[in-house]
Amino acid sequence: MPFIRGGELYKIFKSRKRFNEETVKFYAAQITLAIGYLHGKSIMHRDLKLENLLVDEKGFLKIIDYGLAKTLPPQALSKTFCGTPEYLAPEMVTHSGHDFSVDWWALGILMYEMLIGVTPFYNRERKLLLLKIKQSKVVFPDKNKYKIDYSDDFVDVVLRLLDKDRSKRLGSNGDAQEIMAHPFFASIDVNKLMNEQVEVPMKLNFTENANESGFNSKFFNSKSSAKDLCETVLPKANQDKLKKNANAFDQFAKTSRKI
């Protein structure tokens, strides 16, 4: 796999606290097109978050971590409870069955987070976080008080992506095309964006020697536990499968070295 030198978008986001609306639009459009491509192949990602978005040398995004991705037939529903708590859709929390629209919910969470600086239902207590996801409305902070500038189109697209009724959620009926048709993305030339022919709103500076500054440093610490490395929720049955496969790989590696 290629080395994506810019590292996680999360690290860039944390260093800048928040992005302006044009930068959010640039990133959101790429996420939409990429997820739309996956959906066209009947694949749900189910773990979209800043940590799973890498930035290449040109400033364009790459979506990673398909550990929770799943193929889903048309009109079918999945009832697996998985993902990262802050980005979970209401139907995931209630175990009522989810489809491709969980990715569009996550997109709405990401857009809000990138511009406002925090996820809309954030709470340190997981139970309260999940309760807010199910019941609370999305609230936008006072522009003047917090010195955050955002447009009416931004508010509208986020609210429509974060509709708790998945059947009414933006993207649930026309997928990526429906989302890109929203006025918020009117200034985006899709063809130029896909061919990386647009100007990147935020250019990164690289040192001559690559290091882990753009990545989660815990991944470079051999003493880190699995719990430290990932907050993604994964069913125990799936965890057992991963452990079993990991052991099998270790045995294969040992045998290969002997040969």
Is residue 47 among the annotated active site residues? yes
Answer for the pair 26, 233: CB distance below 8 angstroms, yes or no: no
Q: Name the catalytic one among 47, 99, 163, 175.
A: 47
Query: Among all chains, which residue has been given the structure tokens 């996801």?
Result: 133
Q: What DSSP letter does each residue of the chain carry, written as one string?
A: ----TT-BHHHHHHHHS---HHHHHHHHHHHHHHHHHHHHTTEE-----GGGEEE-TTS-EEE---TT-EE--TT--B----B-GGG--HHHHTTS-B-THHHHHHHHHHHHHHHHSS-TT--SSHHHHHHHHHHPPP-PPPHHHHT----HHHHHHHHHHT-SSTTTSTTTTTHHHHHHTSGGGTT--HHHHHTT-S--SSPPP--SS--GGGS-GGGG-TT--HHHH---B--HHHHHHHHHHHHHHHHHHHHHHH-
Cα angle 170, 122, 99; round to 5 = 35
- Positions annotated as catalytic residues are 47
